Amino acid sequence: MDGAPIDDGFPAERLFKQGYSYTYDDVIFLPHYIDFPTDSVQLSTKLTRNLNLSIPCVASPMDTVTESSMAVAMAALGGIGIVHSNNSPSDQAAIIRSAKSHRIPFVSDLIFKSPSDSIDSVWEFGSSPTCILVTESGTRKSKLLGVVTKSDWEALNDKQARVSDYMVKSTISAPSDYDLEQVAVFLAAKNLEFVPLVNEKDGQVVDVVSATDVDRIRGFPKLGMPSMGSDGKFMVGAAIGTRESDKERLEQLVKAGANVIVLDSSQGNSSYQIDMIKYVMKTYPELDVIGGNVVTMNQAHNLIQAGVGGLRVGMGSGSICTTQEVCAVGRGQATAVYKVSSIAERSGVPVIADGGISNSGHIVKALVLGASTVMMGSFLAGSNEAPGAYEYQGGHRVKKYRGMGSLEAMMKGSDARYLGDTAKLKIAQGVVGAVADKGSVLKFLPYNMQAVKQGFQDLGASSLQSAHELLRSSVLRLEVRSGAAQVEGGVHGLVSYEKKSF
């Protein structure tokens, strides 16, 4: 037997030709040879032909996942957030501008009052940890005049007094383009507990940062370089549809500074999307556009021919998506990612694996099967940065998470992504649910990226490019897992346990 070739497992090409629709849990990679440490694994990648990211993570354009706070946090970590379009064009553009005005990876819930206003209740301070801001008009879009701290208001004898009677006139602010360390130095030098960050061009308040905020952010794990655009600001993406009115939305988003546009459709292989791709490329030739969603090689081929800069892969694989159940179309996500990536690679078009991500192992599988990035919805929902307020269900702290195909989301306009905005009868392709509190993405995403690095090390791949080459050359092998093997591969046989990933 010495010298005889060892044939173990299946190459991806053979496995995915068997006529089965596999998802991530159905398949498992066989380990390869390790000759490098975990920390030498590089996760830098491409989002599109022209845009690079430090980590392969994209926040999904869902109205319970990505608005300003998520976009800022993702860019700070080296990924990117795609702001949803289930709102008015002006509201979506405002979210883009807000995210791009930040240099520090969080967005405070700012409360504004005018000098003639009064503060009737402590609840008016909301979740603001520091103060209420006083501006000329009582909105963000006017000059900062002063601040009211909760302790100052609580010490008042006359709670009905006008704000101007007791506010602390603010003459100290810092430029909004200060990064975290610059703000830290500023606070220490001025011996301040907090400082408003003001845009020097228009005088608008962008955020308020406290010394406590600085310490908290410094305590989070560090990742790669932040995602910065050519304008020197955080990179932020935006979703649009394929209706004629989306051309006007697109114009506002470009003016707001969107770095990439995602055509948000559950089935992207359509004349509507191809026409919109061509329109975006002709009107804004410097702007990358991501097409999708697709799950087949033919779908991908059509959008590649139209000129997309990236492809979004997945149909019915999201935890809140019922497309496969309702419409009987879609594909297992592992098969979809492999098939689309195999044709996209020939044209140098990066693939975004969208949906089905529940753990770091799923991220490893998506990336090794050919994706350049993973788009996450439920994985990020429930975090501090996701839109919405926390509530309690059965003793658990949760946030609402809904599919863009749910009736609730469709009533706000998301049915356009299912080409159903003109239909008299609305058919849901998603549900409304809740996701457990996950804390800050600034904490749990770095830990998950470290787990991904360990997965790559076990596979003998020191980078995404190396993993793709090992897969295409049949060096990496896979097998299908039986139901019993899937159970065995998880926690089993215990009366009780507590699962902590980090």
Q: Is 291 annotated as a binding residue?
A: no
HEC readout, 58-123: EECCCCCCCCHHHHHHHHHHCCEEEECCCCCHHHHHHHHHHHHCCCCCCCCCCCEECCCCECCCHH
**Separation between Cα atoms, residue 5 and residue 475, nearest integer Å:** 13
Q: Is-catalytic flag, 57?
A: no
Burial of 215 from C-beta contacts in 10 A (0-12 / 13-18 / 19+): exposed
State the Cα–Cα distance between residues 372 and 352, nearest whole angstrom. Answer: 6
* Residue 401 annotated as binding site: yes
Cα dihedral value 404, 409, 410, 412, nearest 10: -130
DSSP 444-470: HHHHHHHHHHHHHHHTT-SBHHHHHHH
333 carries a ligand binding annotation: no
Residue 213 annotated as lining a ligand binding site: no
Is 429 annotated as a binding-site member?
Answer: yes
DSSP string, 142-188: S-EEEEEEHHHHHT-S-TTSBGGGT-EE----EETT--HHHHHHHHH
Q: What b/e string do you get for 307-338 counting C-beta neighbours within 10 Å, with b at 16 or more?
A: bbbbbbbbbbbbbbbbbbeebeebbbbbbbbb
Check whether 265 is labelled as a binding-site residue.
yes
Amino acid symbol at 228? M
Q: Is 318 labelled as part of a ligand binding site?
A: yes
Among 97, 249, 417, 477, the active-site one is 417
- With tokens 């779908």, the residue in question is 299
What is the rounded distance in angstroms from the CA atom of residue 266 to the CA atom of residue 328?
A: 13
The annotation status of 319 as a binding-site residue, yes or no, is yes
- Would residue 481 show up in a list of annotated catalytic residues for this protein? no
Q: Reduce the DSSP state of residue 31 to 3 states and report it.
A: coil
Answer yes or no: is 356 a known binding residue: yes
Please tell me whether 377 is known to bind a ligand.
yes
Residues in Cβ contact with 96 at an 8 Å cutoff, skipping those fewer than 6 apart = 71, 83, 236, 238, 253, 256, 257, 258
DSSP-assigned letters across all residues of 418-450: GT-TT-SS----B-EEEEE--B-HHHHHHHHHH
131 is in an annotated binding site: no
Residues 6-24 as b/e (b if ≥16 CB within 10 A, e otherwise) read eeeebbbeebbeeeeebbb
Residue 44 assigned to a binding site: no
Is 375 annotated in a binding site? The answer is no
Q: Helices 333-347 and 297-306 sit at what angle, rounded to 10 degrees?
A: 40
The answer to whether 374 touches 353, Cβ cutoff 8 Å, is yes
> From the candidates 103, 131, 321, 477, which is the catalytic residue?
321
- C-alpha dihedral, 87 to 89 to 95 to 101, nearest 10°: 180
| Contact (Cβ atoms closer than 8 angstroms) between residue 456 and residue 467 | yes
| Strands of 241-395, DSSP E | 260-263, 288-294, 310-313, 351-354, 373-376, 391-393
**Residue 261 and residue 240 in contact, taking contact as beta carbons nearer than 8 Å:** yes
CA end-to-end distance (rounded Å), the chain: 45
Binding residues for NAD(+): 264-266, 314-316
Binding residues for K(+): 316, 318, 321
Binding residues for IMP: 319, 354-356, 377-378, 401-405, 429
Binding residues: 264-266, 314-316, 318-319, 321, 354-356, 377-378, 401-405, 429
Catalytic residues: 321, 417
